Structure 1
């Protein structure tokens, strides 16, 4: 059966649902919905040249690709190619077609180095290497059983610190933007990040349909956010940590544990049964925090890179 690759469009509901279905089957550790896909398509910054793709066979979506330039990086020419094929439809050429279309698109927009996350499984790694990608750093997906696991006891904040929710910043989220920008720039990774565009952050991050402002938790010290955990939920049973960070001036005080613990307790009370997160293997402090909560590694992925001639 012939496999065709086409652009994902925000008005193509069947393709959006198919994209989400394939991603959940291939990568069940990350939250993604048709509505979140449509949001990304319509809100992503133009400089990202964002172009999600679907591979279709017999009218069914069997493969996906998320393709964009790292426009928030101070180093130009870096692109991202993340391809996933439904486990029941591999070895049909869908992955190769998606990679080719993605690479051509990014090269046309000036990309000289491409990065791809690949699940640490022999078949996936061999596929990446056949297409000229070489292995680099790694990251881990972690899962916490909220329904049956034991969370650490709730603790009150230290003197001078109070806990708030993201909803408390609905009228003016700019202080959270400043904290997100500071902490994101310190995250270990291949691609540096500099958040400088507040309006773009509002559209892409603050207004994201998965962002749960009631479970997003912020520690405030001296009147300003000092630590936060941003939370995505699927509105049903799945909870995901989108970002956890502490301002440089407040690190070493246990504030990341404080905000995350408060959020996880509220999530469990609200009926969420699974919590997911992910960490670069070089992020020892955050891995230790998640181990303290009882998160267990459920998968590992490897960052592959290809230099374009």
Structure 2
């Protein structure tokens, strides 16, 4: 077994591994390749793979979280090992590599993620469960019926928008998003990398609701073949309670289905009752759970 820094050419093997462990996550080969080759700005991002006999059997990424005002917080993301190679120290080795990377950056608090069956592993390494996340799926045959927008509200594919309008709505809607740290310091450059310039973003299926020239709600679609990920759906606080987030998401699902998407996935913090209620009304069904876990680096 060998652990090394991930390289762009690892992308096909990484995506294949992810499809085994996380079949409900949607990120294609080219977007994974770009992430490895051109890491997110302002986040000191890196990733490691574990190889056995030249085959990629494990993955983890590590970063300084750059979207929050909280100092010295890092993330260890999607640590996973192929089921046939577990209980051989590979997960511990990947975790050690990620931790050793974060320490010199001054990281003192780390957020990681774990599937429920991996919580004993997390606790053995000093991580305590913090928040539960629900993963859900929706069969788009047929897509949810599309209602007419209310008076004064116009729906647009985000391809027709100035991206800064969408960025402003994203920032406003994310301020009170449930999580371990607030998302209150997202720069335009970081947002553009993660959202607008993401190779998986379907700008024709992603929908924004506009009122008087302002984006007040939106739903983003990231796609890989006939699968999609509802990356983020939100509305600005002053327009909540009017059904606009559900309208935008319904329109996005409708457009995606019309262009060949057969199944949609999404995730939500279990404390995010409004978004969970929207998904239930749209017909999403739970398919998996995950926990965020926190630890202090000493």
TM-score under structure 2 length normalisation: 0.96
Tell me the distance in 2 between the aligned counterparts of 1:112 and 1:229.
34
- For residue 143 of structure 1, the aligned residue among 124, 137, 140 is 137
In the comparison of the two structures, how many residue pairs are matched? 297
- Report the equivalent of 2:83: 87
* SS of aligned partner of 1:219: strand
Please tell me whether the aligned partners of residues 43 and 204 of structure 1 are also in contact (alpha carbons under 8 angstroms): no
- Report the equivalent of 2:96: 100
Tell me the distance in 2 between the aligned counterparts of 1:163 and 1:112.
43
Q: For 1:106-117, what aligned pairs fall within 5 Å after superposition?
A: 106-117=102-113
Tell me the distance in 2 between the aligned counterparts of 1:196 and 1:59.
38
Tell me the distance in 1 between the aligned counterparts of 2:98 and 2:250.
40
1:224 aligns with 2:214: yes
Q: For 1:168-247, what aligned pairs fall within 5 Å after superposition?
A: 168-169=160-161, 172-234=162-224, 236-247=225-236
* SS of aligned partner of 1:67: strand
Comparing 295-304 with 85-94, greater Cα deviation is found at: 85-94
* SS of aligned partner of 1:215: coil
- For residue 238 of structure 2, the aligned residue among 249, 257, 265 is 249
Tell me the distance in 1 between the aligned counterparts of 2:175 and 2:83.
35
Tell me the distance in 2 between the aligned counterparts of 1:17 and 1:106.
26
- For residue 126 of structure 2, the aligned residue among 129, 132, 150 is 132
- Report the equivalent of 2:2: 4
- For residue 266 of structure 2, the aligned residue among 266, 273, 277 is 277
- Unaligned stretches of 5+ in structure 1? none
1:71 aligns with 2:61: no
* SS of aligned partner of 2:42: helix
Tell me the distance in 1 between the aligned counterparts of 2:37 and 2:187.
17
Please tell me whether the aligned partners of residues 66 and 185 of structure 2 are also in contact (alpha carbons under 8 angstroms): no
Comparing 131-140 with 288-297, greater Cα deviation is found at: 131-140
Q: Deviations over 1:22-65 (max 9, x none)?
A: 11211111112221122223443443111111000100000000
- What root-mean-square deviation, in Å, do the aligned CA atoms of Structure 1 and Structure 2 show? 1.3
Tell me the distance in 2 between the aligned counterparts of 1:63 and 1:47.
25
Tell me the distance in 2 between the aligned counterparts of 1:214 and 1:60.
37
Tell me the distance in 1 between the aligned counterparts of 2:113 and 2:245.
26
- Unaligned stretches of 5+ in structure 2? none
Shift of 1:194: 2.4
